[in-house]
Copies of this chain bind each other. A is one copy, B any other.
Amino acid sequence: MNLVHITKGQTGVNPPVAAVILKSGRIVGFGAHLKQGGAHAEIEAIKMAGENCQDATMYVTLEPCSHHGKTPPCVDQIIDAKIKRVVYAVKDVTLNSGVNKLKAHGVEVEHVPHETLTEFYDTFFKSKHSQLPITTVKVSSTLDGKVANDFKESKWITNKSVKLDVFKLRHAHDAIITGYGTIQEDNPELTTRIPDAKDPTPIILSRKGNIDFSLKIFNQQNREVIIFTENDNLRAPNSNIKLIHLENCDVETILNRLYILGFGRVLIEAGPNVSSQFLNSNVITNFILYLAPKLIGGSGKYQFFKTDDVFPLHSLPNFSCVHTEHIDDNLKLIFKKEI
């Protein structure tokens, strides 16, 4: 079921789904949902299996839909293809159940729960329910929580292998949020630098909207850039650039607007100010911390998490560590936000 994970970040607000059709012990077809608006995993698998569908078993990560959306209901095509048995791992709590219709047409249906997939879709269901994307904040820091020394020197904290890992992380997200400060200072392209990999849509936050549109990010061919601003006078210089004017650029409003625009997985890769706002909100899903085994010291002008308010210890932003990994001499720690 790795097909589910490799399509992360390219299905928008739709869930990644994978399906495999087995007949007489052989795989005769498989498919994955590749793109919002495109065919569902089940349909791709049915197409590949062709006439072999008859009396075959379909394994699918998520319960097949009976939903008339951008594509016709999967259950109808499963019935038409004469699939004998459907085994699914996770019940879809967000759509009308397709199981009953399958059963009514004589298709055997079995629910075989799978822990990892349950967790995976649970995150997706929560996102759909709240109308907020699955949101990951990524920070690269030293052991003492700093992203630069007091002179703002930050190149480089983490190692080259971490940089490659971050490119893969970008590929797995629909959009990447950063502050205009970072754009202005680093003039980055925010690409994945992997041949033919997807570059996430840059989302740039600039309350004041004092923007230098000659910077690289605004001049990539056919790449959409979205700017959130509180400046009503700001105008976009070309059609690639989309401005969203908000009265108040707060985290939850921004994320909700992105969800409505179809961004299902969003990565925050920003400086301390923007990162801190997101880490301090209750609406993020994951926090990925890359740690270089160094200490920066100084006064700590550039700590990755600073806030105007001081919190009592019993009400701090709280996480749970779900993954630790050595990336050469650096560490990758993945946390889920505890709400």
Binding site for B on A (CB under 8 A): 141-146, 149-151, 153-157, 276, 279-280, 287, 289, 293-300, 303-307, 309-313, 316-321, 324, 326, 329, 331, 333, 335
Most buried by B among A279, A296, A312: A296
Q: Across the two chains, which residue of chain B brings its CB closest to A279?
A: B295
Q: Across the two chains, which residue of chain B brings its CB closest to A293?
A: B319
Among the listed B296, B299, B316, which residue makes an inter-chain contact with A295, where contact means beta carbons less than 8 Å apart? B316
15 A-B contacts, Cβ less than 8 Å apart? A143-B335, A145-B303, A153-B313, A154-B313, A293-B318, A293-B320, A293-B321, A296-B311, A296-B313, A297-B307, A298-B306, A299-B306, A300-B303, A300-B306, A331-B333
Most buried by B among A153, A312, A321, A335: A321
Most buried by B among A142, A313, A320, A324: A313
- List B contacts of A317 (CB < 8 A): 294-295, 297
A313 touches B155 (CB 8 A): yes
Q: Across the two chains, which residue of chain B brings its CB closest to A326?
A: B321
A151 touches B310 (CB 8 A): yes
Instruction: With A280-B295, A296-B316 given, name 6 new contacts (CB 8 A).
Output: A143-B287, A145-B300, A279-B295, A294-B316, A297-B307, A324-B324
Among the listed B145, B146, B320, which residue makes an inter-chain contact with A329, where contact means beta carbons less than 8 Å apart? B320
- List B contacts of A141 (CB < 8 A): 145
Among the listed B156, B305, B335, which residue makes an inter-chain contact with A144, where contact means beta carbons less than 8 Å apart? B305
CA distance A302 to B26 in the complex (A): 61
B145 touches A310 (CB 8 A): no
Among the listed B150, B153, B155, B295, which residue makes an inter-chain contact with A305, where contact means beta carbons less than 8 Å apart? B295
CA distance A227 to B298 in the complex (A): 28
Q: Across the two chains, which residue of chain B brings its CB closest to A337?
A: B293
Q: Across the two chains, which residue of chain B brings its CB closest to A146?
A: B145
Among the listed B295, B296, B305, B320, which residue makes an inter-chain contact with A297, where contact means beta carbons less than 8 Å apart? B305
Among the listed B153, B276, B304, B309, which residue makes an inter-chain contact with A312, where contact means beta carbons less than 8 Å apart? B153
- List B contacts of A143 (CB < 8 A): 145, 287, 289, 305, 319, 333, 335
CA distance A294 to B305 in the complex (A): 11
Among the listed B144, B309, B318, B321, which residue makes an inter-chain contact with A145, where contact means beta carbons less than 8 Å apart? B144
CA distance A307 to B324 in the complex (A): 29
A319 touches B298 (CB 8 A): no
Among the listed B149, B303, B319, B326, which residue makes an inter-chain contact with A303, where contact means beta carbons less than 8 Å apart? B303
Among the listed B149, B294, B306, which residue makes an inter-chain contact with A310, where contact means beta carbons less than 8 Å apart? B149
- List B contacts of A295 (CB < 8 A): 279-280, 305, 316-317, 319
A149 touches B311 (CB 8 A): yes
Q: Across the two chains, which residue of chain B brings its CB closest to A157?
A: B313
B333 touches A156 (CB 8 A): no
By Cβ-Cβ distance, the 8 closest A-B pairs, closest first, are A145-B145, A297-B307, A144-B305, A144-B145, A293-B319, A294-B316, A298-B310, A150-B310
- List B contacts of A145 (CB < 8 A): 141-146, 300, 303
- Report the minimal beta-carbon distance from A337 to chain B, rounded to whole angstroms: 10
